[in-house]
Structure 1
Amino acid sequence: MNSEFTIAVHSLVYLAYVPEHMASSEQIAKNVATHPARIRKIMSCLRKNGFVRTKEGIGGGYILSCNPNETTLAQVYRAVSYGTLKPHWCTGDPEQTCLVSANIQTVMDGIFADAESYFEAYLHGITIHSVLEKIKLCP
């Protein structure tokens, strides 16, 4: 898993929280505590997937274009991080004569695919709005 998912969720929740649901990449970056260029990269992906739109010029920025009550974290995950649960490297060597080394990668691929399906199903029950509501309950 990479941090893009967390940054994307944070950014969308922040936009749902701020007045008029709009903020610049600098404002979002300050809230997320990361570099504005990283925010712009993630926001570009969110824009391509219809979660936000941009407003150019003075006073411009990113505007929430999805309904926080209906947008699930599963949708965000699919847009920015799908397939990242599985590590880029796996142990084993299919050319080995050892049963374990020859087959571990195939078995682990299946395990990670199942885990991603379960994770996505779990995220389907969580909306941007519900995350914001949980934040509001924090002391």
Structure 2
Amino acid sequence: MNSDFCVAVHAVVYLNHKKEICSSEQLSENICTHPARIRRVLAKLRKSGLLDAVDSGPKGGYRFTGKPEQITLADIAAALEITFVEPGWRSGNTDMECLIASGMGSLMDEVFDDLNTRCQSRLKEITISDLDHELFGVKNAKK
């Protein structure tokens, strides 16, 4: 997984909170990354219908169009086509006689698939509204 997921979640929570059109420059200041990266990541959210892009010159930008209590982190991950756990390397060789050497790669693929399934299941339980409540809820009321 790369950090595009973090950028996307941050942007959606920010746009939901602001309830207004925000430029990629405004989002980049809050997320602390380059505006071009914001545009690249949010293009995928726009394509999936999670955001609207408003192309009206200097007042253009993005706005959140969903219902925060219905949009889950799994929806964002799906829009970005995120795989959370993936090996950078596969051990062994299927042509070797040793059962460990020939079977470990496939066995680890199953472990990674299971971990990704479990990640997706957990992300389906977390909504944008949940994150909003965590940030602005009772525990932060004194700030």
TM-score normalised by L of structure 2: 0.89
Are 2:52 and 1:53 equivalent residues in the alignment? yes
| Partner SS for 2:59 | coil
Q: What percent of counterpart residues are identical?
A: 36
1:55-95 residue CA offsets vs partner (Å, 9 max, x unmatched): 11221100111111110011111111432421242222222
| Partner SS for 1:23 | coil
- Equivalent pair of 1:5/1:81 in contact (CA under 8 Å): no
Report runs of 4+ in structure 1 exceeding 3 Å deviation.
Answer: none
| Partner SS for 1:109 | helix
Mapped partners of 1:114, 1:13: distance in 2: 28
| Partner SS for 1:54 | strand
Relative contact order, CA 8 A, sep 6+: which one is greater?
Answer: 1
Count the aligned residue pairs: 138
- Equivalent pair of 2:24/2:39 in contact (CA under 8 Å): yes
Gaps of 5+ in 2: none
Query: Residue in 1 aligned with 2:22?
Result: 23
Gaps of 5+ in 1: none
| Partner SS for 2:62 | strand
Query: Residue in 2 aligned with 1:101?
Result: 101
Query: Residue in 1 aligned with 2:13?
Result: 13
Q: Say what the alpha-carbon RMSD is for the aligned residues.
A: 1.4
Mapped partners of 1:19, 1:47: distance in 2: 16
Mapped partners of 2:115, 2:65: distance in 1: 30
Query: Residue in 2 aligned with 1:125?
Result: 125
| Partner SS for 1:63 | strand
Mapped partners of 1:78, 1:51: distance in 2: 11
